[in-house]
Amino acid sequence: MNIPTAEDAELFAQSVRKWQQVLNLSDWRIEKGLKPAKQAMASVEFNENARLATYRLGDFGAALHELLHVLLHDLTTTAQDPKSSQDEIDAQEHRVVNLLEKLLFKAFYGIN
């Protein structure tokens, strides 16, 4: 097992803040949970009404991995809701595609 130290947890928290900014997730409040993740390197749970994502550390994972779950959360919940229209699903998909397009162009071509 790779149990995170207090220093590891702080580095993870710093990484969460970085990726929250990079992934344009400022509409989410992202906080560290008090309990450890069970049978996982890290986990994230959601309270949609509060726009709260709570992450937990277990056998130590990657902040980017957990923040990508946050990025995709609106898309997956919209797609799973039988009341969602195709336009709503498409809008959530394009939110993700537009962000990834911007990030990938910047990473590969230096274009903003």
As beta bridge partners, residue 56 has 43
Pull the structure tokens for residue 43: 């986990």
Q: Which amino acid is at 100?
A: L
Per-residue pLDDT of the chain (112 residues; tens, 9 = 90+): 567 888 988 999 999 999 999 999 999 999 999 988 888 888 999 999 999 999 999 877 778 999 999 999 999 999 999 999 999 999 999 999 999 999 988 888 887 7
Pull the structure tokens for residue 28: 């989410």
DSSP 33: -
Q: Compute the distance between CA of residue 69 and CA of residue 17 in angstroms, rounded to an integer.
A: 15
Element holding 31 (H helix, E strand):
strand 29-32
pLDDT at 5: 85
C-alpha angle 50/7/63, rounded to 5°?
45
pLDDT at 40: 85
Q: Compute the distance between CA of residue 58 and CA of residue 1 in angstroms, rounded to an integer.
A: 9
pLDDT at 1: 59
pLDDT at 26: 94
Got the DSSP string for 42-97? EEEEEEGGGTEEEEEESS---HHHHHHHHHHHHHHHHHH-TT--HHHHHHHHHHHH
